[in-house]
Chains A and B, each alone.
Chain A
Amino acid sequence: MGGMGVKCDMCDNEATVHEVVVSNGERRERHLCEAHANELGVLPKKPDAETMSAMMHKMVAAQGHAETSKKQAIASCSECGLTFAKFRAEGLLGCPACYQTFEDRIVPLLVRAHDGGEQHIGRVPKRAGSMVERQQRLMCLRRELGEAVSQEEYERAAKLRDEIGTIEGGRGEGGEERDEGSQE
Chain B
Amino acid sequence: MMTRFDPEASASWLTRSGREGDVVVSSRVRLARNMAGFPFVHRATDDQREAIKERAQECLMDSGIVGRSRSHLMWVDLAGLHALDRRVLLERNLISQQQAKSEPWRGLAVSTPDEEYAVMVNEEDHLRLQVVRPGLDLTSAFREAITMDDRLESRMDYAFSLRFGYLTACPTNLGTGIRVSVMLHLPALKLTGEMDKFKRATKAMSLAVRGVHGEGSDTLGDFCQVSNQVTLGRSEQDILMQFEHEILPQILDFERSSRRTLLSKRRVMLEDQVQRALGVLRSARIMKAEEATQLLSQVRLGVATELVSGITLEQLTYLTVLIQPGHLQRLVGRPLDQAERRIERATMLRERLTSACG
Contacts and interface: CB of A to CB of B under 8 A. Distances in A.
Nearest to A91: B170
Interface of A: 46, 48, 50-53, 55-56, 79-80, 82, 90-96, 99-100, 106, 109-110, 113-128, 131-132, 135, 174-176, 178
Given A51-B210, A96-B34, A175 B40 contact: no
Interface residues of B, number: 50
B39 interface: yes
21 contacts: A46-B204, A50-B208, A50-B210, A80-B43, A94-B40, A96-B36, A99-B167, A99-B174, A114-B175, A117-B232, A117-B234, A120-B232, A122-B165, A122-B235, A123-B176, A123-B236, A128-B158, A175-B36, A175-B160, A176-B36, A176-B159
B43 A82 contact: yes
**Secondary structure dominating the interface of B:** loop
Nearest to B229: A52
B316 to A, nearest CB: 26
Contact of A128 (B160, B170, B174, B176): B160
Contact of B203 (A46, A52, A96, A174): A46
Interface in B181-239: 203-204, 206, 208-210, 215-216, 229-238
Contact of A178 (B159, B161, B169): B161
A92 B233 contact: no
B208 A114 contact: no
A46 B170 CA distance: 19
Nearest to B158: A125
A120 B163 contact: yes
Contacts of A109: 171
Given A120-B161, A126-B153, 15 more contacts: A52-B229, A53-B172, A80-B39, A92-B124, A96-B36, A114-B174, A115-B229, A117-B231, A118-B232, A120-B163, A120-B233, A121-B233, A123-B165, A174-B36, A175-B36
A178 B167 CA distance: 13
A42 B216 CA distance: 30
B289 to A, nearest CB: 22
A120 B177 CA distance: 10
Contacts of A127: 153, 157
Given A79-B39, A120-B165, A52 B215 contact: yes
A59 to B, nearest CB: 9
B184 to A, nearest CB: 16
Contacts of B43: 80, 82, 92, 94-95
A162 B176 CA distance: 36
Q: Would you list the 4 A-B pairs with minimal beta carbon distance, nearest first?
A: A117-B233, A120-B165, A96-B159, A94-B43
B5 interface: no
B288 to A, nearest CB: 25
Given A50-B208, A91-B170, A96-B167, A174 B157 contact: yes
A99 B210 contact: no
Contacts of A118: 232-233
B176 A119 contact: no
B154 interface: yes
Nearest to A121: B235
Contacts of A48: 203
Nearest to B202: A50
Contacts of B229: 52, 113-115
A98 to B, nearest CB: 8
Nearest to B227: A52
Contact of A116 (B34, B233, B235): B233
Contacts of B169: 92-93
A176 B171 contact: no
B42 interface: yes
B209 A50 contact: yes
Contacts of B215: 51-53
Nearest to B239: A122
B172 A99 contact: no
Contact of A52 (B167, B170, B236): B170
Contacts of B1: none
A120 B175 contact: yes
Contacts of A124: 160, 162, 165
A48 B157 CA distance: 37
Contacts of A174: 36, 157
Interface string B138-167: 000000001001100110011111111111
